[in-house]
Structure 1
Amino acid sequence: MSKGSPGPTPGFLVWRLANKWRVAVDRAVAPLGLTHAQYSLVSSLYGMQRAGDRPSQRRLADHTGLEALYVSKLARALESAGLIERTRDPRDPRAVQLALTEQGQAVTRQAVAVVQELLGRLLEPLGGPDAPRTRAFTEELTTLLDAPLAPPVPDDESNQGTPP
């Protein structure tokens, strides 16, 4: 006989933590005219651009883990706000390249500073951003993120033991 619930599952806790952090970042960057999703896009673009890259919407979607259609929607909104520019890739006319405008770079620098300060507060229970517990937590999250979603498909096990 069951003595009640064993407690929240890891999946539930990850979902709750993701929502808590999303809300915190939304609130932190709202004064700059950004949402958490937009911040994820412009901060990633900022880092890529500083490395000399002008990524396509697809590459930025892959980098952020967001759906390509959602990145396209966010990019159009950010373009309307004057923060990014979208241009056709001269090597592939189907691809759209993204770059921050000067205004976009300034807003992104401010947003990164705000989010870094917030991150320090959010990670304080683990000892702060540079603490051993935070590094271990980051490694565990990376392991989970790197794991494939679908189970591996066995090599032709379905055909084993069946006549041709």
Structure 2
Amino acid sequence: MALAPGESPGFLLWHATLRWQRAMAAALTPLGLTHVQFVLLACTWWLNREGDQPNQLALARQAGTDVKMTSQVLRALETKGLIEREVDPADTRAKRLRVTDAGAELAPRAIAAVEQADADFFQPVAVDAAVDLLGRLAAPGS
């Protein structure tokens, strides 16, 4: 028997995701970033801060994004002057990624904006419970 829309977890997740995506867009648009640009910039920034200079494949794996789409978005970030892609001396087919000074200045501001948007969005529910649930749903093999 089919569930009513308000009883369907997938339907509710779809609507919650759309609402969350709108919140992310509203937080990031003033900074000149799309959500996927933010994710790739932030992941590169985090990895660079840890002393890693990832290639595009490693970044795509970290971010959970498609490799081809990652390459396209990185080109846009490079055009904006937020990241640099350099040929990897160990593998000339690969490009190592480094956040520029402008990217390093923007990334923490964008992270703060997204964290505030997340806090506002998840305020009606227990955040720890939401993180636990989403972590279980996002885990490999779930």
TM-score (structure 1 length as normaliser) = 0.79
SS of the aligned residue for 2:33 comes to: coil
Matched, 1:47 2:46: yes
Deviations 1:63-89 (A, max 9, x none): 111100111000000000100001111
Aligned to 1:62: 61
Matched, 1:76 2:69: no
- 1:1-164 maps to which residues of 2 (within 5 A)? 5=4, 7-126=6-125, 133-148=126-141
Say which one has the larger Rg.
Answer: 1
Gaps (5+ residues) in structure 2?
none
Question: Partners of 1:71 and 1:3 in 2: how far apart?
Answer: 38
Query: Which structure: greater helix fraction?
Result: 2
SS of the aligned residue for 1:96 comes to: strand
TM-score (structure 2 length as normaliser) = 0.90
Task: Kindly tell me the number of residue pairs found equivalent between the two proteins.
Answer: 142
Question: Partners of 1:16 and 1:85 in 2: how far apart?
Answer: 36
Q: Report the residue type matching 2:37 in the other structure.
A: Q
Taking only aligned residues, the RMSD between alpha carbons, in angstroms, comes to 1.9
Question: Partners of 1:145 and 1:51 in 2: how far apart?
Answer: 24
SS of the aligned residue for 1:54 comes to: coil
Q: Give the direction of change, closer, same or farther, for the CA distance of 1:5–1:86 in structure 2 (3 Å limit).
A: same
